[in-house]
Each structure stands twice: as C-alpha cells, then as structure tokens.
Structure 1
Amino acid sequence: MILRISIFFIGLLFMTSSLKANDARILDIQSVKTPAGITVWHIEDHTLPIITMNFAFKGAGAVTDPANHIGLGQIVSNTLDEGAGERTGHEFQTALQDHAIDLSFGNGRDHFTGKIKTLTKHKNLTEELLRDALMAPRFDDEAITRMKNANLMRLKSSLASTDWLAARLMNDVYFGGHTYARNSGGTLSGIASITKEAMENFTQNYLTRDRLFVSVAGDMTQDEAADFVDKIFSNLPSGSPQNSVDNVSPPTAPVKKAFKTESPQSSVQMVWPIFPKTDPDYYALRVLNHLLGAGGFSSALMEEVREKRGLTYGIYSRPIHMNFSNYMSIESATSPENIAPMMAAITDVLNEFKTEHVSDDKLTAARNYLVGSLPLRFSTTQSLSRTAMSMGLNDMGIDYLDLWDDEILKVTAADVKRVAERIFISTTPTAMVIAGAVPDDLGFEIIETMPGVE
C-alpha cells in the first residue's frame, strides 16, 4: 500500500511539473490543425503511457430534441457503444473491457459530448472502436429497448428525490417556453416514442464535423494527435442543420412555485439572472461566489444560515453559464418550518454583500484559494483534456488559465460589492421553487403535476 501511494505521488509530481513546460503558461495547450482540417487543443504529457480525448458536437445537445422525441439525444448517447460496425454489443463491450478502454458519451443541454481514455499501446484499437461507434452504430432493437427501459426507470426513480423535483420545476419556471425548459434526460412519453430511425437521423444530422471540437492530453506528440483525430473523425458528415435558438427571457416579475410530496424535508432553489463569462466582471463574480456560497464552511451563507441560525445542514451558491442563459443559483434543503427564516437569513447575507465591503482577510483568503487550488485540478490526463474541452466550448481562449491568477488577484472588495449590486438588484429571487414539504403560509403557487415528466 505504501509503495503504491508513493508511486502515485511521484507520478503526480512529474505530471504537475510538466504543466508549466513554459514558465509563462499554466497549462501548455497547443492548438493543432489536422491534415483533414480539424482543430485540436493538445496537451503533450509523456509521464504515463495514457491518452485521454474529450470531444463535443457543439449545439447538438438536448436543445435539438424534437418535441415528439424528448430524450432522443440521451438514448443515442447511451446506445452508441452498444455495438458498432461488425461487433455486436457484447463484442464491442468485451473489446473495451479486455483492453481497459474507457469510452462514454453524454448529452447536455447545449452539447453532445464524448470521452475516451486508453493506454498508448491500444491506440489503434481505440481509433477503430470510436470511429465505428460514431460512423456505424448498430442500434440493435435489443439495445434500444434496454436503454429506453433503463432511462424510464431512472426517470421514475428520480420522482422520489426532492432535489431533482426542485431542479425540474425550476427549469420550467425560469426557462418558460424555451427549449431549456424541457427535461434533457427525456420524458416518459418522449423516451417511449424514440425509434431506430430517429436515432440514425440524429447521428447523421448532428454528429458532424462542422460542430466538432476535440481536446487530447497525454502520451502523444502533436503529429500523433493529429493523425489519431483524423483517423476517427475525418469521415463524419461535413455539415448539419443549424438550429435557431433564442436567448432565455427570464420572468419579468418574481415567481414562486412549489410541488408537494410526502417528504418531511423541503428542497429549495432560488435564482437570479447574471452576465456571461465574457463579461469584464466575470472574475469578480467567481470571487463573490466563493465568498457567498462556494467556499464551504467559510462561505457567508454557511456561516449565517447553518452555523449561526441552525436552519440547514448545507447551503451553497453557483453561477450557471449556458449558451442561451446565465444565472446564479442558491440551493438548500431544510425542514418546512425553517424555510421562511432561511429566506430572511439569505436576504440579510445578500444585503450585506450589496452594502458593505468584504473584509481584507476574507477577500485575501478567497483569492488565494481560487489561485492556489487551480493546479490541483490537473493531476491526470483526464482532467487536462476535460479542462481544455471546457475552455474551448465556452470560447474562453487558449490563454484563459494564464490570465487566471492575475485577474483573480486584482479583484477588490469594491469589485465584489459592485457585482453583488449588479446581480442582486433585488434580493427577492427572480424565481424560487420548493419541492417536498410546503408550508401553506408562504404564498407559493402549488403545482399539481410535475412538468417535464410525462
């Protein structure tokens, strides 16, 4: 055990030291154009004989689901590796398992994504398996039925989670008639209606080269990475229909809705619109969020709502940035009799951020944490590739990490106060939802049927 731990930390030391091959760079990401014209963000690291590749088809997420097949992208993401080319589902999965190849696909609201991790010696087989999954998925009836049934069971079991119900209700309340309001994991009727033909049409129309973004990290030179990517993706369809999606228009007046269940606890979520990552105040937002609710027990919400007033076991904040919407969310769970005093405590915290400058000690601690914790994210090829992918999808620029330290460290108390004033113009949330036990005296509209399920 001691030997294994020692080897791990030695490997981590070498990998971390390789992150700054150039002292001016936090992460040495190189943009490579393959012979087939595909752009790849590449991080070369030969510490271990491992290659990780993340890829995304931009704009091909759940926003593309047809109204009569909600959950289509979800089922496709579950079924692409259930047999492809000449390999049956069993043969395909056996090839992955026998060679320790980790392949997965995902379907978010905005993007359809994938990840593959392999030992360098299995690179050729990895190319073949992923190329077949994307170009020649079998979509056998048995696999489709099995994945549809698994997702129907997942959806039904989610109804027991008040956190899931609150998130589902918030999507409907805040996004309104926008496609984001749909259940990205699918509805009971939508999943049941999905056909093999619809899945094949999805792969042809949306898993295309014009939407593709790729990041590769690990035991590959730039030329090897370009060859690897071209062998997998170069024969994908070149173009696809472009969806016209408007930005979300948040509610113009505060909305409060609730869904009652037999749970003795209440899950509470409240949101306010914010600005995108491209806004000059983005770094100040990150510092504000850490101070407000992302800093664990040192955050203002945890200190006031849990430690001082004992109204919850946990409360946190997080900014959400998507292609067509940006908002700040505060989330917690509590007993129903504590909801009103918890709302009052949150209002007090927000007002303090709006009217007073955060102390020098707290500001310094928050900035130091955000700067000091950054390198800890890059301990594996998977984390390297995933970070590069996230940067690319969010149009953050290849030098985003290089700017991070300076931008965070120059955030002032006045910046934090100004951003709090921008976001919490009113401390009353734009939208607030409760799922679980709901008191009758809080003025929430009670929803009888959970939207986005049937």
Structure 2
Amino acid sequence: MTEVTSPGGIKAWLVEEPSIPIVSMNVAWRGGASLDPADKAGLAYLVSSTMDEGAGELDSKAFQERLSDLAIQLGFDASKDSFSGSIKTLSENTDEAFRLFGTAITDPRFDEEPVERIRGQILSSLDRKLSDPDSLAGRAWFELAFGDHPYAQPSEGTMDTMAAITREDLAAFARTRIGRDNMLIGVVGDITAEELGPLLDKTFSDLPAKAEIAAIPQTAPLSEAAVKIIPQDIPQSVVVFGGQGVKRDDPDYYAAYVLNYILGGGSFQSRLTEEIREKRGLVYSVYSYLYPMKAAGLQMGGFGTSNSSVKEALDLVEAELLRIRENGVTEEELAAAKTYLNGSFPLSLSSNDRIADILVAMQFSNLPIDYLNDRPNLINSVTQDDIKRVAQKLLDPDRLIVVVAGKPENLEEKGKGAEKN
C-alpha cells in the first residue's frame, strides 16, 4: 500500500494488483446527510441518487448507456457523516471511467425528468417504510436518542422534506459540499502510481479547493433509560436497543470491539444468542454492534420476537449487560473472540472494491497507512481488565434506550419514550 500524490497535490491510497485487469476507486467526502437543512432532510441522499443521471454533455440515458457499453459500475451514496462515490472498471477502460466520474461530480445535470423519476421512487419507498416496523423502530430510536441534534434526522428524509428539495438545492450541494479538502480516495487494482497521479488531477482538479461545510456538534445519546412503543397490529414486535458507545478514535475502541463480539456481535458465539435464542428459543436472531460516528459513539442491538415475549427478552438483555458489567468475561471467551476477529478479517479483503472501501474508511478514521499490519496486535492486546472497565462504562441497563414497534405485552413506556406520546 502506498500514498500517491498527483502532480497537482491530490492524495490517494493505492494498492496495486496487476494480476486481475480491474480497477476500483472509492471516494468519500467528509460531511454527509446530517448536514442537510432540517426542512430539506434527504438532500444528500437525493443527490447521491441522481448524480449519475446525466453529466456534462450526456443526458441521463446517454450517460447510463455509456457506462453500460463499457461495463463500468459507477454510483454514489450518502451516510450521516459522509457523501461517497465509487467506480469499478476493466483496466482498459480506466481513463474513461475516471473521466465519467469526474464529470458526474463537477458537472452534474440534475435534469428534471431523472430527478423527478428518482424522487418518485424514493417517495414510494418512504411511504412503504411508514408501515414497516423495522424502519419505524430504527428511525424512532435515533429521534429518541438524539432529540434536536442532526443525528436524529433521517438520512433519507421524510415525505415532506424529500418533496421540498429543489433542483437548485441539488446543484448547490454539488457546488459547495464536494471539495478537494474534505476528500478521501482509495484505489485498488491494475494501475500503477505513475498512471494514477495524472488521472487524479484530471478527475478532481475542477472541484472547489474547499468545501463549504459546518462541523456537526459533538453529542452523546440520551443518558437515561427510556422505552418507547410504536403501536403496530402485527404478531411479532421489532425491538431496537442501545446507548453510549465509543467513537473510532477512542483509546477504548478495541476493548469495546472485542466486548461487543462477546456480547452480541459474534452470532452463535455471543452471550445474547446463547441466553435468548439457544436456551429459551425466544428469538430467531439477536445481535449487537458498535456504531462509531464522528460526533458520537453508539452501541446498538436488536431482535424480533412474539408480542408475548418482548418483555422477557428485554429483561434477559438487561441481565446480560449487568452480568458482563459486574463479572467481565472469561479467558476462554476473550481468546475465542480474538481468534475470530483476527482470523475472519482477511476474508473481508476479498475484492478490489472492498479493499478500496477499507482504504477510505481508514483515512476517514485518521488511521495510519500501516494500520492493517497493526490491527492484530491491537486486538490481541485487549485484556480481561480492559473488557470489564469498558463494560462498566458502556453496558448500563439504567441507561438503555429501547424502541419497540408492535404490540408488546406487559411492557410499559418510560422516560422520554413515554413523554413523547
């Protein structure tokens, strides 16, 4: 892995892989959907959905036909903290793939027909999600956890805010929020550093030198227990739970990472699966995961179960949080977690585009370029004392935020979850 600097000063991380004639590039710009104005929530998402629908001299049909003719995969996405784009191409078409990508980000057309067509598709999806328990529970959890903070805002927006976005809003986003200073690039495949440098300048030099983005205020999720119920006439409830986690640059990140695997991130190796599924058969699956964002860290989880079993399953979640908090984990659990987390990671490096994505994620988290070499040692250095210390900081049943979509029996709302109804 090397860092390439173009003649014009644009930097990218590169992994050369000449054995397969494919080139993948992933790009992320800091600042995502959380920067959308509250009354235009979904703006970044609509831009990501329409930026490849025509650019420069090519309208939507011509642009998509050009991609298809050359078997180029090109697309964009928006998350709470970033706006991103990617291409995957045969190496013989690398120059044209980069040219099309550069045109899409510097001269997107946002013509009325494709914008309204894509907006209609998004509105239809949002309408379906109004009756989807998974979507309802997930959205309500962030609203409950973050209140007036931008993280409470749904990345895809709402029916009202998506309808309010104008073509000028899309064009302004492209002009102001995509710059060279907030850009992170990862490239993998059949391309050399000498070939990549000039391509970076051709692709990105027409972007503004600086993006006009504000900083998201640092925050934390609600610090008290809350239960909110979204009534749905369905036989099985969907449960989302979570609370305070760690950000990626937290010194306790690796301890929290290993802890989460033991708690609920390890599928059939996790405690939640053992206690709630294997011993009692209350759920088909139960899981937990870390969600480190730029302005807050979360640890979240979820499950689905019959309405009559929701309270029992939640009680078991809280009991397991308390047990690890008080007693830590065993040597055997810790060793097994390290073995899996280190042994399985290379399997994620299975394609050029996946590796390019990891290169960008590393830069986004301000990790060093040799991080992949250090990662096993960082995980292996986690001790039982580290796990217990972090568990006492993060796993607190008295601060658990819960949202249930369904008709849970014998479960009462509490805290801010009750106040909002």
Superposition TM-score, scaled by structure 2 size: 0.96
Rounded Cα–Cα distance in structure 2 between residues aligned with 1:177 and 1:80:
29
Please tell me whether residue 428 in structure 1 is matched to residue 398 in structure 2.
yes
Kept in 2, the 8 Å contact 1:259–1:438? The answer is no
CA contact (8 A) 1:54 1:389 kept: yes
Give me the CA root mean square deviation: 1.6
What CA distance in whole angstroms lies between the structure 2 residues aligned with 1:68 and 1:285?
Answer: 36
CA contact (8 A) 2:54 2:61 kept: yes
User: Residues 441 and 72 from structure 1, CA distance in 2 versus in 1: closer, same or farther, beyond 3 angstroms?
Assistant: closer
Deviations 1:352-405 (A, max 9, x none): 212224222222111111111111111211111011011111112222221111
Partner secondary structure for residue 210 of structure 1:
coil
Q: What amino acid is aligned across from residue 204 of structure 1 in structure 2?
A: R
Q: Secondary structure at the match of 1:127?
A: helix
Quote how far apart the aligned CAs of 1:439 are. Answer: 3.1
What's 1:364 paired with? 335
Deviates more, 1:110-119 or 1:264-273: 264-273
Greater mean alpha carbon deviation, residues 324-333 or residues 244-253: 244-253
Find the counterpart in structure 2 of residue 6 from structure 1: none
Structure-2 separation of matches of 1:218 and 1:40: 13
User: 1:441, CA displacement in angstroms?
Assistant: 4.2
Q: Structure 1: how far apart are the matches of 2:236 and 2:419?
A: 17
Counterpart of 1:69 (choices 14, 30, 40) is 40
Q: Which runs of 5+ in 2 are unaligned?
A: none
Classify the secondary structure of the residue corresponding to 1:350.
helix
TM-score norm. by structure 1 comes to 0.89
Where does residue 3 of structure 1 map in the other structure?
A: none
Q: Deviations over 1:389-443 (max 9, x none)?
A: 111111122222211111212222222222111212x323442111122335423
* Count of residue correspondences: 419
Q: Distance in 2 between matches of 1:120 and 1:447?
A: 58
**1:52 corresponding residue in structure 2:** 24
Give 1:210 shift: 1.4
Unaligned runs of 5+ in 1: 1-28, 450-454
Distance (whole Å) between structure 2 residues aligned to residue 387 and residue 210 of structure 1: 20
Partner of 2:374: 403
Corresponding residue of 1:218: 189
User: Residue type of the partner of 1:379?
Assistant: S
Contact 1:259–1:448 (CA<8 Å) still a contact in 2?
no
Residue identity in the other structure for 1:222: A
Match of 1:286 in 2: 257
Amino acid at match of 1:32: V
Does the CA-based 8 Å contact 2:225-2:397 persist in structure 1? no
SS at match of 1:267: strand
Q: Check conservation: 2:76, 2:84, Cα contact below 8 A.
A: yes
Which whole-Å CA distance do the structure 1 matches of 2:256 and 2:109 have between them? 46
Counterpart in the other structure of 2:412: 442
CA–CA distance in 2 between the matches of 1:237 and 1:76? 17
Report Cα offsets for 1:74-130 as digits up to 9, x if no partner. Answer: 111111111111111111101111111000100111110001000110112112211
Q: Indicate the residue corresponding to 1:184 in structure 2.
A: 155
Q: Does 1:129 align with 2:100?
A: yes
Task: Give the 3 Å change call, closer, same or farther, for CA 251–357 of structure 1 in structure 2.
Answer: closer
Distance across 2 between alignment mates of 1:263 and 1:448? 22
CA distance in 1, matches of 2:123, 2:328: 50
Residues 40-98 of structure 1: CA deviation (Å, up to 9, x unaligned) = 11111112011000001111x11221222211111111111111111111111011111
- Counterpart selection for 1:101 from 68, 72, 92: 72
Identity in percent: 35
